[in-house]
Amino acid sequence: MEAIATRPAVACCRRAASSAPASTRPILNTLPSGARQKSTAARTRRALNIPPHPSFLTQTGNNAEGRPTTDQIIYNPPSSAASVFHTPFKFLPKNDPRRRANLASELFASSATIHFNTNPSSTPSSSSTTAEEFPSIEGAPRYRARHHLAPADIEEMRRLREADPAQNTVQALSARFQCSKLFVMMCCQAPREHRDKVKADLAQTQERWGPRRRAAREERRARMGMVFGGEL
Amino acid sequence: MKRLRLDRWTGQLLLARPGASPASTPRAALRAAAAVPSRCAAVRSQSTGAAVPQIPREDVDDYYDGTDHTRFPPLEPLPPRATSLPSPPPERALQSAKLAALHARLSLPERLPLQTLARALVDASADENPQFNNTTLAFVGQSLINYHVAEWVMCRYPRLPMDIMYATMKGYAGASSLHHVARAWGVEHAAAPGGEVDPGLLQFSLHKPGDAIVGLGYRRAEADGMKKYKWRHGMSSRVVFDDDFGEVVDTEDAKDELRLRRDTEYGNEYTRALAEKAFATCARAVTGAIYAHAGRDAAKAFVQAHVLSRTLDLSKLFAFAKPTRELSMLCAREDFEPPVARLLSETGRMSRTPVFVVGIFSGKDKLGEAAGPSLEVARNKAAMNALKSWYLYSPGEGVRVPSDMLADDARPWEPAYIDIGEVVGR
């Protein structure tokens, strides 16, 4: 790959070089001599002149120059996510005719199946991806409601929380009683002095925030609100 | 343009002002209009000829309304005392080109006479007399429009939560939408209402709003507190007390401040709302008039053509507080596997503008998918998309509505899909 150091990187390197001890300076001299800045229009144009993505070039039906020979429109990158007006199979009611229509395909493949029709003359190949192939981004597995806690357990939970709220945090109690944090919070509440202390700690932390950090947090919250409102 | 056959028009609503004029049927009105002698010969102020001196007749004292007709000659022969009336007399409707054009442009049924169409253009703020304004027609019209929109939304999108249902109703049949409908018909408004105004113009007053009741709903005793202190009012009370769009029935006193400023500004929120209301009332009154003269089927076809044919993106109406939790509750309620967010693809994780594509799966099935600049945003958006696709389930485009059964040759009714209810209370 062609190495083109952009302007900020060079500036950073230069700053690092000037401030670094003498022993590290020779490293800068080992940068490839081809590292150039895009100072002129010609270099910028050359840098931005990138070839098309290989997926454009290797498609069947393209001629020697890689241009498509048919009138078919290729969406690359592909179009956006499915419309919310296309109800997922799972959300269809039991008596919906669409359920019967694609019952067969549902029996043998999941709705996340992606078919790449590599050879148009033959039947579609069975290259499919299942849901499990995609990594989950959920955090630690949460406790599902199992309804296993007796009134005595809840009393015990309350007693523990009352006795030492700093040690028996909501998370600790949730792990100990194998229930969700929401359930712990539904069952018991920390004593008032502990709540006041937590609140004071938080206020003290926020006291140390400068205007930029404060504004950034405000903006982040506003942006999340816009996401929930469907504006972003 | 198709010739209007006046002899086929019915005269039900033409008798609105009994005895006011001999013209009680369209034909008689035509004759009367032709026979009205011009009260004063039009004086051309720029003409070089000598002005004909006006000889006051004996009956002029009766009709004289104070207008100096030598200085302000009428553009068309007006019936006696027209300028002193709050709205144009019904018999003038036959002479209005604007009204005939509106009638033809909307392809209104021939049985709907021009006089009724003229009455649909008189707002209650222009003429307080309910025999001459469009209040009664608008009440019928708004009931019809709201009924047809509500049954269509209920059958077409059976899983909508109640607040989205209200927003949808408002989007189709609310004042601002019907205002746009009436504007698109080419309805224009007069600068000020009066008897001398062309009957083809919408007449409303910005100075006395009028107290015509055109909607259903109770005036809440706590309405002021709700506005001032933001008291919570839940969905159940909105269903019971508020109007067809779930909005608190408002009093006029609440807008005092805006009303005081209406003449000093070019137009403010208050005047715009009044104009919007007048146009919407006009659209409703036309629907009511069609129902009165041409019947149920014509009114339904009119509502479908002018109100339900409009495009409203329902997916833009949603807002969620905790979408992931709501989706979990939905999956638990419907006995689906718990939803899991999975990363489908990503680009530029270490860059300034990363894009993550996250899908939400329940078991093997993907429920929703979205892209976002962070995992958290993408996950929430995917959950919102999944919830939207649940709520926006539709049995199909050509879903039947209960009023289809009123046709004579209707097929037997199949029960519409009814959802068991919302996932979370709002």
Spell out the domain ranges in chain B. 96-306, 318-393
Low-confidence ranges of chain B (pLDDT < 50): 11-45, 47-61
Q: A113 pLDDT exceeds 80?
A: no
Closest CA of chain B from A64, distance in Å:
31
pLDDT for B103:
97
The residue of chain A nearest to residue B420, with distances taken between CA atoms, is A93
Lowest mean pLDDT across A51-65, A116-130, B317-331, B395-409: A116-130
Domain ranges of chain A: 1-67, 145-190, 201-232
pLDDT for A158:
95
Asked if A84's CB is within 8 angstroms of B364's CB, the reply is: no
Closest CA of chain B from A189, distance in Å:
22
Question: Which of B330, B392, B424 would best serve as a mutation to test chain A binding (most A beta carbons within 10 A)?
Answer: B392
Asked if A229's CB is within 8 angstroms of B365's CB, the reply is: no
State the Cα–Cα distance between residues B367 and A184, nearest whole angstrom: 30
**What's the rounded mean pLDDT across residues A139-168?**
88
The long-range contacts involving B420-424, CB below 8 angstroms and separated by at least 24 positions, are B422/B161, B422/B162, B423/B326, B423/B329, B423/B330, B423/B333, B423/B387, B423/B390, B424/B326, B424/B329
- The yes/no answer to whether this complex scores an ipTM above 0.85 is no
**Which residues are within 8 A (CB) of B383 and not within 5 positions of it... i.e. 6 or more apart?**
B320, B323, B324, B326, B327, B339, B341, B360, B368
pLDDT for A9:
43
Closest CA of chain B from A210, distance in Å:
23
Asked if B336's CB is within 8 angstroms of A85's CB, the reply is: no
Q: In DSSP terms, which residues pair with B202 in a beta bridge? A: B189
Using a CB–CB cutoff of 8 Å, tell me whether B372 touches chain A. Answer: yes
Topology (CATH) of B96-306: Ribonuclease iii, N-terminal Endonuclease Domain; Chain A (1.10.1520)
pLDDT for B16:
44
Asked if B388's CB is within 8 angstroms of A84's CB, the reply is: yes
Asked if A111's CB is within 8 angstroms of B365's CB, the reply is: yes
pLDDT for A115:
45
Asked if B358's CB is within 8 angstroms of A84's CB, the reply is: no
The residue of chain B nearest to residue A112, with distances taken between CA atoms, is B366
Binding-face residues of A in 106-145 toward B, CB within 8 A:
110-112, 130-131, 134-138, 144
| Residue A105, token pair as written in the block | 């395909």
State the Cα–Cα distance between residues B317 and B380, nearest whole angstrom: 17
CA distances from B10 to B6, B26, B99, B180, B235 (A): 9, 9, 17, 30, 45
pLDDT for B409:
92
Q: A55 pLDDT exceeds 90?
A: no
Binding-face residues of A in 44-83 toward B, CB within 8 A:
80-83
Residues of A in contact with B363 (CB under 8 A): 90, 131
Residues of B in contact with A81 (CB under 8 A): 357, 368-371, 385
Residues of A in contact with B364 (CB under 8 A): 110-112, 130-131
Asked if A110's CB is within 8 angstroms of B393's CB, the reply is: no
Report angle CA B377, B383, B385 to the nearest 5 degrees.
Answer: 100
Using pLDDT thresholds of 50, 70 and 90, give the confidence band for residue A23.
very low
Dihedral sign for Cα atoms in the order B416, B421, B422, B425: positive
pLDDT for B13:
46
> DSSP label at A231?
-
State the Cα–Cα distance between residues A104 and A137, nearest whole angstrom: 31
Residues of B in contact with A105 (CB under 8 A): none
Q: How many cross-chain Cβ pairs, A to B, lie less than 8 Å apart?
A: 104
Asked if B370's CB is within 8 angstroms of A88's CB, the reply is: no
CB A14 within 8 A of CB A31: no
Asked if A84's CB is within 8 angstroms of B385's CB, the reply is: yes
Compute, in degrees rounded to 10, the torsion defined by CA atoms A78, A84, A85, A87: 100
pLDDT for A209:
96
Question: Between B269-294 and B175-184, two packed helices, what is the crossing angle to 10 degrees?
Answer: 70
Using pLDDT thresholds of 50, 70 and 90, give the confidence band for residue A57.
low
Question: Which of B157, B329, B344 would best serve as a mutation to test chain A binding (most A beta carbons within 10 A)?
Answer: B344
The residue of chain A nearest to residue B330, with distances taken between CA atoms, is A91
Using a CB–CB cutoff of 8 Å, tell me whether A9 touches chain B. Answer: no
State the Cα–Cα distance between residues B286 and B292, nearest whole angstrom: 10
Closest CA of chain B from A193, distance in Å:
30
pLDDT for B8:
54
Query: Buried (b) or exposed (e) across A169-189, using 16+ Cβ within 10 A?
Result: ebeebbeebebbeebbeebbe
Using pLDDT thresholds of 50, 70 and 90, give the confidence band for residue A5.
very low
| Residue B299, token pair as written in the block | 């009114």
Closest CA of chain B from A164, distance in Å:
30
Asked if A131's CB is within 8 angstroms of B342's CB, the reply is: yes
pLDDT for A232:
85
CA distances from B156 to B152, B393, B419 (A): 6, 8, 12
pLDDT for A38:
79
Using a CB–CB cutoff of 8 Å, tell me whether B390 touches chain A. Answer: yes
Asked if A81's CB is within 8 angstroms of B366's CB, the reply is: no
Question: Which of A137, A142, A220 would best serve as a mutation to test chain B binding (most B beta carbons within 10 A)?
Answer: A137
Give which of B294, B289, B303, B302 is closest to B111, Cα–Cα: B294
Report the half-sphere exposure of B274 (CA within 13 A, side-chain side): 23
Give which of B215, B16, B19 is closest to B116, Cα–Cα: B16
Asked if B342's CB is within 8 angstroms of A134's CB, the reply is: yes
Closest CA of chain A from B423, distance in Å:
14
Using a CB–CB cutoff of 8 Å, tell me whether A228 touches chain B. Answer: yes
Residue A23, amino acid: S
DSSP letters, B208-230, are -------S--PPPTTHHHHHHH-
Using a CB–CB cutoff of 8 Å, tell me whether B206 touches chain A. Answer: no
The residue of chain A nearest to residue B158, with distances taken between CA atoms, is A93
Residue B113, amino acid: P
Closest CA of chain B from A85, distance in Å:
6
Question: Considering CB atoms only, which of B321, B364, B390 is closest to A110?
Answer: B364
Residues of A in contact with B369 (CB under 8 A): 81-82
Question: Considering CB atoms only, which of B366, B379, B392 is closest to A112?
Answer: B366
Using pLDDT thresholds of 50, 70 and 90, give the confidence band for residue A35.
low
CATH code of domain B318-393: 3.30.160.20
